[in-house]
Structure 1
Amino acid sequence: MDGLSKGLPWRDRIRILSEQRSALAHLHSSRPHAIIHADLKLTNILLDGGNSSRLGDFGTARVVQMKPLEEDTICRRTNPMGTMGYMDPVFFTTGELTAESDVYAFGVVILQVLTGLLDLNIAEQVQEAVKMDAVHGLLDASAGNWPGVQAERLVRLALRCCNMERKRRPTITSDADWRPLDILRTMATGSKSRKWSQGS
C-alpha cells in the first residue's frame, strides 16, 4: 500500500478512499451485528493490478450488537489491539470498541493519503497546518494538482474523525457527513480533460 503515499495520482487516491469508506459502511451497517475492523491502516488496504482496493486483515475484527432502531453500536469490551497511531485513544484507554474506533483510524488514513506523511502524530501536525492556514502546503504534490478547496474540506473532515470525543466524529454510514469525499470522488471521475479551479 506504499503506492498510496508515493506518487499515486490524487484521483486514484480519492477513489480508493471512497472504496474504503464504502467497505467500512457495509461492515458497520450489517444487522443485527455490525463488524468493527479494529486495525484499519494503510498496509491493510490492498491494491490489485488496476489499483482497485480491498480492505484486508480481519484478524482483529470483532462483531458487535447493534442497538435496535438506532445507528449506534453497543460497545464491545475487549483488550485494546490494533496499531499505534491508528488506534482510537478512547478504545486504548477504556477497552470499549465501537464503530467510532474504525472512524478514528480512517481519519488517520485519509490524512496520510492526502499528505503522504506517515508520522504517528499526523493529526496534530495537520491540525497545526489548519491553524496556520497552510493546508495546501501539506497536500502531497506527487499526486498532482489537488482541487485545493475541496481537499481542504476533506482534511477538516479527517480531523473530525480523529476527534478525542467519539460523538463529534462523523458517522461512516451517513452520506451527509461524507459529502466532501463524495464531491472529490465526483470530480475525480469527471472528464479527465476538464480543469477544476481551486474554488470549485
Structure 2
Amino acid sequence: MWTYRGDEPTVLQWLDSISVGHEAHQIAAKATRRRHRVLGATTVMLAGLAAAAAFAAVLGEPRPWLQVCAGVLAALAATSALLHTVADDADVIAAHQRSGAEYGNLRRQLEQAILSERITDDRLSEIRAEWTRVEEAAPSLPARTTRAAEHRLAATAPAAAPAVPTVVPTAPVAPSTTTVAAAEPLELESADEPTKELTTS
C-alpha cells in the first residue's frame, strides 16, 4: 500500500482547493442573505411610498404629478416583490450553507490526515471521492466570490518564520612556525648556561 507524506505538493494543493471552496460558499451564503434582506426592505419602502403618494393624490388637491409618482412607485414595488420571489434566495442560502458545511468537514478530514504525517492511498481515494460528490452537488460560485475566498485565505495564512542564520564553526588556528622558531633559541640558551653549585665551607 502506497503512503504519502503530509507535505506532498499534491496533498497541499488539495487542501488549498478544498479550503477555497469552504470559504467561498460561506461568503456566497452571507452575500445572498444580505441581498435578500436589502431587496425585502426596498420592496417594503417602495410600497409605503406608493401608498403615501396615492393617499395624498386622493385626499388632497388634485395634482397630476402625485398620481404619476404613486403609479411609478407602485410599479417599482411590484417589480421588487417579483424579484424577491423569483430569486428564491432561501433555497440558495440553504444550498451554500450545506455545501460550506460539507467542504468544511472534508477540509478537517484532510487536515487530520496531514497531521498524521503519513496518508495511505486508500485514504486519499476516499477523500477524492467525497470531494467529487460535494463538488457536483454544490451550487455554482461567481468568479469574484472565489477570488474573495482566495484573498481571505491568503490574508489569514500564518507568516513564514524568519530564517535563522547558520553559524559555521571555525577551525582552530595552528600556531605560527615563526613563534616556535623564536622560542627554540631561548630553550637552547637556558640549556647551555652553566649550573652554579652551592658549596659549604
Which category describes the TM-score, using the shorter chain as reference length?
Answer: under 0.3
Greater CA radius of gyration, 1 or 2? Answer: 2
- Structure number with the higher helix fraction is 2
Please report the TM-score for the alignment, with normalisation by the length of structure 1: 0.27
Please report the TM-score for the alignment, with normalisation by the length of structure 2: 0.26
- Structure number with the higher strand fraction is 1
